[in-house]
Chains A and B, each alone.
Chain A
């Protein structure tokens, strides 16, 4: 009898194991129990960066849409959209002067929904430049660049620069007349830089004129280097928004 009892209690314990594992797994992600009450649900959301990237407490007046206009959020959304559509475009695009223009035209006329992908990418890119600028203006006009947020302003300026560089490098990739001369003009502006202007231009182009080396260079920067750098800067940027809080006293 005693043995059977021990066996039964062992079975009961064994039956608990999957539940315990599930609970531990849940807690490892959300740090709180199941959101069975409002209190737990609130805590779960507020302590989780993924569920609540914004600071948990801000002024009521800053909750209004017209305080931020969601400009940073829209910029980030566009960045995600650009990453996804860009990834799709890469399946049909070869960064070489022989194929680039033809591939771009293929995307427009020979690939199912290719024109949707390309235009989404193009218009999102235009829109992102606009929203990033407006975001900077909004931060300026609400005085949100002042201490202790001056570091995040600096990160934001870097992100603006990277957005513009992403636009500039992407401009060359269709390899049409507009691309060619825009990059010729843009890199000639770099040439006017003091002391080492011509060297800067040469290392940007990878040759003396805009050509195959330039397309490859701009492509690598456009699809890998700059997005990676921007993603890292964004991680810091968002984290600082959460930790520094919104501007103004509570």
Chain B
């Protein structure tokens, strides 16, 4: 069972502002039946068309999607459009006393619907995300085909929530949660976005004895590298460790693969990330 806060539970059982506003000034719709959740947000503005005087929602989704929608409408009532745009998905989650990480995409959906509603009202380009069913022109490259999510939207969520792993990106946006085929691309996007920002380093031991280093190298190959190769039908074997040179031989699909050079680089990158900066990977026949 999900560990929902009392506030999530309360907003789910007694959601505020359910329904539609017939003469709404702005409407934002995101999600779809296929995705498993969807939100339609209605905004009514004051006479000066500056301040949100009423907000209502219709949501198809789980308890946290309903609670996030309810929270969002409560948070934006009385705010100016600019103030409302300042609300982030973290703010929605915080309002609810937190959401399980697997459910963070519900708060992202709320923030997205708000952004779409306001952009459409202002006649601006509708912000690029993926899975709306308004059929707006989507900019950017579709990364996750299962949920129809673009790179631009992913980059935004990665940056604003400081996401470091593909799993987190899935929890926040759903991307990668279907067939999983786009996970390598998501990892690239994380590297691209977070590469510019100070990222949490894996705790690399400052000084390693030879024995510890060898153990760590083996460990990283077993846990971080080989499972990824298996997924593509490949494999590798550790042949020897000579000083800072790690000798590996590719097996199965990786053996003789034209891009094994890239794979070797990838292995090196992983080892440098987890073990020591000066490691080099050498491909050998073995």
Question: Do A and B actually bind?
Answer: no
Q: Interface of B with A (CB < 8 Å)?
A: none
